[in-house]
Structure 1
Amino acid sequence: MHRFGSGDLGDMAGDALYAALVYLVFAFLLPRRARSLCAALAIIVCTVIEFLQLTDVPATLAELFPPAALVLGAHFDRRDLLVYAFAVVCAMLLDVVVSRALRRRAAQQP
């Protein structure tokens, strides 16, 4: 059972959080790069992993190391591609808004 519900809603919430996490990893690893680059990389990684689910690779890796299923998933769903893109763009916009607010606040401090 998903923490954010079951069925389609829970599946989409989990996918969105996964994609946002991938974006945050790139934003952390590439702090001086454009946020749009981090977003593009996150979407590419999520898309590659989703298409990888069309092969036996995720299932094979999950048999060898069960936690791999959490990262690689199990079944291809084209809807996930839209959820990933939407979530990454939302994460990027939130990152930009928060970063600007923090910079403005720091500039105002004496």
Structure 2
Amino acid sequence: MSLTVRWIRLLMAVSAAGFAGAAYAIRATMDGPIEQYSGAALSAAIVYTIVIFIRPLISPLPAGSAATAYCWLIEFAQLTALPAALSQRSWLARQLLGAQFDLIDVVWYPVGVIPLVAAHWFLQARTRSRTGPTPVEP
């Protein structure tokens, strides 16, 4: 594993922890729409960091698409009884799956991903202009 991949993975782990910390801080100090909307956006940002952690050399658009699609999959799965049942039994399941479908969350997931896609694209373009093309991940 290259040094670059290690640094990317470390940055993604730190970023995910930061996004989670921000989400829990907002939840602890605020109530209402800000709490709800920021929670959806920040959870999508965490999923984006997980995608990059798993595939460090992925391009921004596929990473953003994967993160958004995963969030939507989990949200629409909440239309079934399974996530709610699991969430009643486990705090961790509630954090990962949620408990009930909310159409507004579907809109806010891309809001959490789009700025990260833009930053990722900018950093990738800047790095590419300094070092040449990015190697293709096997």
TM-score (norm 1): 0.83
- The partner residue of 2:87 within 49, 62, 68 is 62
Q: How big is each residue's C-alpha offset from its partner over 1:23-61, in whole Å with a ceiling of 9 and x where there is no partner?
A: 111012112221111111111100010001111111222
SS in 2 for 1:24: helix
Structure 1 counterpart of 2:115: 90
Q: Percent identical across equivalent pairs? A: 30
- The partner residue of 1:47 within 48, 60, 72 is 72
User: Gaps (5+ residues) in structure 2?
Assistant: 1-25, 132-138
3 and 95 in structure 1: CA distance in 2 versus 1, 3 angstrom threshold: farther
Q: Distance in 2 between matches of 1:69 and 1:11?
A: 15
Q: Distance in 2 between matches of 1:76 and 1:38?
A: 24
- After the TM superposition, list the runs of 4 or more consecutive aligned residues in structure 1 that deviate by more than 3 angstroms: 98-101
Q: Is the 8 A contact 1:4 1:13 kept in 2?
A: no
Q: How many corresponding residue pairs?
A: 106
User: How far did residue 20 of structure 1 move?
Assistant: 0.4
User: Gaps (5+ residues) in structure 1?
Assistant: none
Asked which structure has the greater RCO (Cα within 8 Å, sep 6+), the reply is 1
TM-score (norm 2): 0.67
